[in-house]
């Protein structure tokens, strides 16, 4: 059985911040404070470096977000989706059912009241119930540290295929830990063009930008 946790936390002192009850950031001129709960919910309830780097990348303005329809997959505490919303996107922030309660609370706490209407939190387990989400209906798809379990790769790819049109920009922030993570990128390349657009050495996080290859019919 493959580990559900990307790291063995106890062996890496730098990861002790995962134990903090909350973590704080500044994005889009606002304080973002996220509640964490590693002991109860594990990987979905702590902020991973990939989300921080993806937030910084979006804040640099590399991608127009104002007025865009975005969806975050495997959002965990929701940092990337929250930053996209603060930068003006309409965002659907998703994860598996066990993550929902904390995710909803973090979104509620960090999105100003007048912007709450632009953010939806909803359950999305990759590959399941995709008909609840519009096919090709998003301008931007965000994923931070969601490539780590090979048994989820086919369902994650089906999800990206469903949600994307040829005009969708997919941004995946990844720490490459294992060969299988590279294998996912090769699988993604079968249906998408993929380019690395950013690397942050300090946190060892790569950002990949992907776009669905259009069929002849769509061109
Ligand atoms: C390493 S955490 C990253 C969380 C957050 N994006 C961040 O960077 O802080 C991986 C996330 O993927 C979610 N996840 C794992 N398998 C999933 C699946 N099959 N469907 C939906 N989400 C999944 C987990 O619940 C978790 O929130």
113-125 residue pLDDT tens: 999 999 999 999 9
Check if 18 has its Cβ closer than 6 Å to any atom of ligand 1.
Answer: no
Q: How far apart are CA 43 and CA 175, in angstroms?
A: 14
Largest Cα–Cα distance of the chain, in whole Å?
53
- Ligand 1 in reach of 50 Cβ (< 6 A): yes
For the stretch 35-76, pLDDT in tens is 999 888 889 888 999 999 999 999 999 899 999 999 999 999
Gap between the Cα atoms of 10 and 16, Å rounded: 8
> Which of helix, strand or coil describes residue 63?
coil
CA 116/CA 35 separation, integer angstroms: 18
Contacts of 216 (CB under 8 A, 6+ apart): none
Domains and CATH numbers, the chain: 20-212 (3.40.50.150)
Listed in order, strand segments (DSSP E) in 28-98 are: 30-35, 69-73, 90-95
CA angle 207, 118, 34 (to 5 degrees): 60
pTM: 0.93
CB atoms within 10 A of CB 83: 28
pLDDT at 18: 76
The burial of 141, by beta-carbon neighbours within 10 Å (0-12 exposed, 13-18 middle, 19 or more buried), is given as: buried
51 CB within 6 A, ligand 1? yes
Angle at CA 102, nearest 5°, toward 99 and 107?
110
Q: Which atom of ligand 1 is nearest to the CA of 79?
A: 9
- Report the nearest atom of ligand 1 relative to the CA of 143: 6
User: What spacing in Å lies between the alpha carbon of 129 and ligand 1's midpoint?
Assistant: 17
Report the mean per-residue pLDDT for the chain: 91
């Amino acid at each position: 059985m493959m580990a559900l946790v990307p790291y063995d936390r106890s062996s890496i002192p730098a990861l002790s911040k995962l134990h903090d009850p909350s973590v704080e950031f500044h994005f889009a001129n606002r304080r973002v404070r996220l509640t964490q709960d590693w002991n109860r919910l594990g990987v979905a309830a702590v902020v991973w470096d990939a989300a921080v780097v993806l937030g910084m990348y979006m804040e640099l303005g590399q991608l127009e977000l104002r007025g865009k329809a975005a969806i975050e997959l495997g959002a965990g505490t929701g940092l990337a989706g929250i930053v996209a919303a603060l930068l003006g996107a309409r965002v659907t922030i998703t994860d598996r059912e066990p993550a929902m309660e904390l995710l909803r609370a973090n979104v509620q706490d960090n999105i100003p009241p007048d912007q709450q209407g632009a953010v939806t939190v909803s359950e999305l387990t990759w590959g399941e119930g995709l008909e609840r989400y519009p096919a090709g209906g998003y301008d931007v798809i965000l994923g931070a540290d969601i490539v780590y379990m090979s048994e989820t790769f086919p369902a994650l790819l089906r999800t990206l295929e469903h949600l994307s049109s040829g005009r969708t920009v997919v941004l995946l922030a990844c720490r490459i830990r294992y060969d299988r993570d590279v294998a996912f990128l090769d699988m993604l390349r079968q249906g998408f063009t993929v380019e690395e657009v950013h690397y942050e050495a300090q946190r060892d996080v790569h950002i990949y930008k992907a776009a669905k290859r259009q069929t002849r019919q769509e061109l």
